Structure 1
């Protein structure tokens, strides 16, 4: 029987492999994470994106520049403070995520096949609890 550590490492490897398989546009993992975060949050300052993703502002700046070049995002001055930029998805960015989401449906199909309804509910609750704990730890480090 695998330990929790082994299980988490294996799950992470499998999810990365699935991400690679469903990414025909060849965007980087970081670029995808930025797009996904913007899809959830709608509009964010780069400083907040770097904190939420746990990366340096320099690394994020490069990713944002590439995403702007590909027309997946746009940045505009914050209405309250013109020195601060707000980053949003473009229609092209929304469409890319929609296309990638079709590939992610494979994960859902496999989960439906291997988990009972009760196990699906348990897995969802536990995964959400764990994800929230990881995010909370990252955010605490920047307070």
Structure 2
């Protein structure tokens, strides 16, 4: 699609347009989500909540495996989420050392607000894209997401 010279976009002025476009879109989406979900949940904590929403109650070890993080990292994330009353843990069976983690009502409400924000973003995107552009955008987002996922996680930055 040709760019109208009167429709100036500083994001596309850089030689690395895709990188800047992704960075700009990420910033806009994160800022909107932060306004609707001010609990200061990190990306990793959000992923834990979404995994619990999608799969139901899980053990910390299953969450660690599903999200490809270490058990100590998962323990820290769960501790913060418990402190915010977004998840709860209960003993699993007779071995009280193994816990199962579930969303609380507050956690479900948090995810409902985040979902409403996503739906609002989708409505805005649909309002500025033709149906054909929407289909192309959705397909391209899917391809890029799959490629990024297939590339694996980058090495953590040493602290």
Name the TM tier (shorter chain): 0.7 to 0.9
CA distance in 1, matches of 2:124, 2:40: 24
Aligned residues: 140
Aligned partner of residue 24 in structure 1, secondary structure: coil
Equivalent pair of 1:51/1:138 in contact (CA under 8 Å)? no
Higher relative contact order (CA 8 A, sep 6+): 1
Instruction: Give matches, 1:26-105, under 5 Å.
Output: 26-78=40-92, 84-105=98-119
Q: 1:49 to 1:127 in 2, by over 3 A?
A: farther
Equivalent pair of 2:49/2:103 in contact (CA under 8 Å)? yes
Per the normalisation by structure 1, the TM-score is 0.73
Aligned partner of residue 74 in structure 1, secondary structure: strand
Across the aligned residues of Structure 1 and Structure 2, the Cα RMSD in angstroms comes to 3.0
Aligned partner of residue 124 in structure 1, secondary structure: helix
CA drift at 1:129: 2.7
Query: Unaligned 5+ residue runs, structure 1?
Result: none
What do residues 14-58 of structure 1 show as CA deviations (whole Å, max 9, x unaligned)?
222222222233333432232122212223333343454454433
Q: Which moved more, 1:82-91 or 1:37-46?
A: 82-91
Per the normalisation by structure 2, the TM-score is 0.67
The structure whose residues are more often helix, as a share, is: 1
Equivalent pair of 2:87/2:104 in contact (CA under 8 Å)? yes
